[in-house]
Chains A and B, each alone.
Chain A
Amino acid sequence: MEKLDFTLNINGSDYSLSIEPRRTLADVIREDCCLTGTHTGCEHGVCGACTVIIDSEPMRSCLLFAVQAIGKSIRTVEGLADGDDLHPLQKKFTEHHALQCGFCTPGFLMLALSALERDPDISDEALREMLSSNLCRCTGYTNIVRAVRSYRDAGK
């Protein structure tokens, strides 16, 4: 099938691409832009490991075709740390042992970050509901919630 030429803006940088329309945003971010921090755990929109932030909203990049993200501001996990300095949310994750294998972690980071940027005073209940969006198979979730709550509370 014919390829389309377009640019994607990821973490503030432009990536020039020439790709088939059927390539998902997740695959293009990973393979063509070489940002492999965004992971695919199911490719059918349930696990949330592929969550990125698009124009400040969390979205499952496996459910978008890359062509649909033209003109949008995409943020992935690679954009969080400042060089060697971890983002405060990332620091909370390690403090609270909120990751084990780390495969679901980028998805949770982007999900949590977008939630807190949208509502820094998010309630415990709303936070639990939000974090129920993504799957983790290692941690049993408790420490993830604690890490995100701690990040929220530190911001107050």
Chain B
Amino acid sequence: MKPASFRYYAPQNADEAVSLLGEHAPDDGHILAGGQSLVPMMALRLARPGALIDINQISSFAEINSESGWLSIGPCVRHAAFHRSVVEGQLGTLLTEVTSHIAHYPIRTRGTLCGSLAHADPSSEWCLMATAMDAQIHARSTRGTRIINAEDFFDGAMITTLEPDEMIVLVRLPLLVSDSVFGFEEFSRRAGDYAMAAALAVYQLEDGWIRDARLAIGGAEDCPRRIPEAEAVLNGAQPTLEIFLEASSVAASAINPIKDSRISSDFRRSLVRTICGRALARTT
């Protein structure tokens, strides 16, 4: 399982990286960040980029900044960077919780959050998080930079709305207000496997009532998605077991399960119902 040949570039700054990507887009040029998802695909020859643009030595790409209510994450920030909270408040805690579920430690020391988004695996924990949190993805090409909201970013299993000559240069997440709570849960066959169903619930608790509920499901459909029908059950309600069960049932019914000869729709829905319920239980 040796990869096919490619041209290799190791640009020293963002401009160079973007320019190289523009030049090699016709040749299926790819950004190489962590490589933990891309390289296995190259080994299986499912991916055969004509050029790899290695961005690991661009030090500004590894930065995490928080200002004006936003957390900005560069394209080379590793999953492991979130092992400890990177920002005060619930967002920092949430990111630490989510990262601990990603694969295994040796993958996390190398793989990147932005890389996971670009890879768009339906089961990716970061893709689920970005969807739940309405992340802003900054995509840059030689033609300029544009901001893509998470709900417009994922376009199918392993498909995003990035143009071939665009790379993610930043992801921004809104900081969570102080009375926010969250709960994350996923189900996988073995420790560290991709999730067969995952749920991330985030809401504010105002005088004991739920508001601004975000409930996103991953691993069950082609893309992670917030489920408005389930959020409607939560908003304005109290965080009780009954409400959580109802929201979970609604979410299970609302999803359009991935077509998979090995996993039946019924089973996928059962998982969503269970995992959603457990994620919600963790919010209290």
Contacts and interface: CB of A to CB of B under 8 A. Distances in A.
A63 B40 contact: yes
A111 B3 CA distance: 25
A4 B191 contact: no
B39 A57 contact: no
B227 interface: no
Provide the main secondary structure of the chain A interface: mixed
A21 B52 contact: yes
Contacts, number: 82
A139 B182 CA distance: 39
A20 B5 contact: yes
A64 interface: yes
Nearest to B42: A22
**Interface size, B (range):** 20 to 34
Given A58-B105, A63-B39, A44 B8 contact: no
A43 B5 contact: no
A62 B43 contact: yes
A67 interface: yes
A63 B112 CA distance: 14
Interface string A89-110: 0000000000000000000000
Contact of B10 (A24, A44, A63, A67): A67
A133 B56 contact: no
A59 B52 contact: no
B45 to A, nearest CB: 11
Given A1-B5, A130-B105, A45 B10 contact: no
A25 to B, nearest CB: 10
Nearest to B100: A129
A63 B109 contact: no
A59 B44 CA distance: 20
Contacts of B43: 43-44, 62
Nearest to B104: A133
B10 A59 contact: no
B60 interface: no
Interface string A63-101: 111011000000000000000000000000000000000
B54 interface: yes
A60 interface: yes
B40 A45 contact: yes
B35 interface: yes
Interface of A: 1, 4, 20-22, 24, 27, 43-45, 48, 51, 57-60, 62-65, 67-68, 111, 115, 129-130, 132-133
Interface of B: 1-8, 10, 32, 35-36, 39-40, 43-44, 52, 54, 56, 80, 104-107, 109-110, 191-192
19 contacts: A4-B8, A21-B8, A21-B52, A22-B2, A22-B3, A22-B6, A44-B44, A45-B40, A57-B110, A58-B105, A59-B109, A60-B110, A62-B43, A64-B39, A68-B35, A130-B104, A132-B104, A132-B192, A133-B104
